[in-house]
Amino acid sequence: MPNAAPLETDVAIETPEHIVFRYRVAGPARRGLAHLLDLLICYSALAVLGAIVLLAASAGGVLGADPESLAHAGAGVLLVALFFVQWVYFVVAESVWGRSPGKAALGVRVVTAEGRPIGFAHAALRNLLRAADSLPVGYALGVAFMAGTRRFQRLGDLVAGTLVVHTSDHARAEPIRLWPPARPDELAALPERVGLDPEERAAIELFLRRRGRLGALREAELARMVAPALGRRFDYRHPDPARMLALLYDRAVNAGREEAPPSSRGASPGAAWR
């Protein structure tokens, strides 16, 4: 839970609006997969180009041109393409879109250490330094550097001052609702104030969100591990431990809060609850 206890792999970015948000840094496994995907894309394209060159050369041979010289010209084109694959592909993709196609597929992108999109110099430096990171074999040095730095930076990232982060595309989740609503007898016994610390809240929340997907027995089993301790603390008892957690959570989260004032959409949205 980023808002409870920041994970080690989070970086906080402060915007010019003085809002702090967090990026989750991508680890070696995901980045390795993204790289494999990029290699696959590049070398498939190269293979297709090779096939075209081969076909063109043999077609030219049929039409009477010297097939050997055609093959030589084609090989020259292929060598230039190989250069582009090795040195240019990443620089161009990352300076234009901030991520290579492989990174996009795995949901990561490159940002500067300040959380901004990268430019050409960043992209050029971090990708030139691949030559050093890939030593001695298979990015061993790069992975070693990622293990040794707090934000998973390989040499190229350190030199360019960049990070690879998850693009956060969280679907919006509905807030948890107490259902069915609390009965009067449940409310009567419920304490006025339920003080939960953020970790407890997060744990109960996680449980309540997964309730529907757990079996009934497993649900009760999990709830019984927590409910009695909380019950003793707040001096509250309920026959159903899962329901008891839901009630306590609802009281902790919503007690004392207003419902929203009647909707007046469109008119100065942010100002209503200053």
Partner 1 sequence: MALASAPNERAFAARRERDWSTLEGIVRIAEQRGPKRLRPADVHALPSLYRDVCGDLSRAQAARYSAPLIDYLQGLTAQSHTVLYGAHAAGPSAEARADAPSWATAFPVAVRRHWRAMALATLLFFVPFFLGLMAALAEPHFAFRVVPEAMLRPLTESYQQGFAAGRASADDTLMTGFYVNNNVGIALRCFALGIFGGLGSAVTLVQNGLFTGAVLGYVGSQGAGLNIVTFIVGHGTFELGAIVLAGGAGLAMGWSVVSPGERTRLASLQSVARDVVVIVAGAAVMLFIAALIEGFWSSSSVPTPVKLVVGGVNFALVLAYLALAGRGARGRRGGRAA
- Does residue 178 contact residue 238 with C-beta atoms inside 8 Å? no
Which residues, 36 to 65, sit near partner 1 by CB under 8 A? Answer: none
Identity of the residue, 52 or 221, whose beta carbon is nearer to partner 1 in the bound complex: 52
Which residues, 107 to 146, sit near partner 1 by CB under 8 A? Answer: 109, 111-112, 115-119, 121, 124-125, 128-132
Which residues, 163 to 182, sit near partner 1 by CB under 8 A? Answer: 167-177
Identity of the residue, 143 or 253, whose beta carbon is nearer to partner 1 in the bound complex: 253
User: Encoding tokens for residue 58?
Assistant: 């043999």
Write b or e for each residue in 119-134: b if 16 or more Cβ atoms lie within 10 A of its Cβ, otherwise e: eeebbbbbbebbeebb
Which residues, 3 to 32, sit near partner 1 by CB under 8 A? Answer: 3-4, 13, 15-17, 19, 21-23
Considering only residues 8, 185, 235, 258, which one is a binding residue for partner 1 as defined by CB under 8 A?
A: 258
Nearest Cα to 253, choosing from 174, 176, 173, 171? Answer: 176
Shortest CB 82 distance to partner 1, Å: 5
User: Encoding tokens for residue 167?
Assistant: 């693009």
* Pairing mode, strands 108-112 and 10-14: unpaired
Please tell me what DSSP assigns to residue 20. E
Identity of the residue, 165 or 227, whose beta carbon is nearer to partner 1 in the bound complex: 165
Identity of the residue, 9 or 167, whose beta carbon is nearer to partner 1 in the bound complex: 167
Tokens 């009965």 found at: 183
How many residues at the interface with partner 1, by CB under 8 A? 80
Measured CA to CA, the distance from residue 85 to residue 116 in angstroms comes to 26
Complete DSSP assignment for 85-152: IIIIHHHHHHHHHSS-HHHHHTTEEEEETTSPBP-HHHHHHHHHTHHHHTTTTTTHHHHHHHHHSTT-
Residue span binding partner 1 (CB under 8 A) among the ranges 1-9, 27-35, 218-226, 240-248: 1-9
Considering only residues 42, 93, 146, 155, which one is a binding residue for partner 1 as defined by CB under 8 A?
A: 155
Shortest CB 36 distance to partner 1, Å: 21
Identity of the residue, 15 or 237, whose beta carbon is nearer to partner 1 in the bound complex: 15
The site string for partner 1 over 73-92 (x = CB under 8 A, - otherwise) reads: x-xxxxxx-xx--xx-----
Residue span binding partner 1 (CB under 8 A) among the ranges 31-39, 42-50, 156-164, 227-235: 156-164
Measured CA to CA, the distance from residue 126 to residue 133 in angstroms comes to 10
Shortest CB 120 distance to partner 1, Å: 8
Q: What is the dihedral of CA 162, 168, 169, 170, to 10 degrees?
A: 180
Shortest CB 268 distance to partner 1, Å: 10
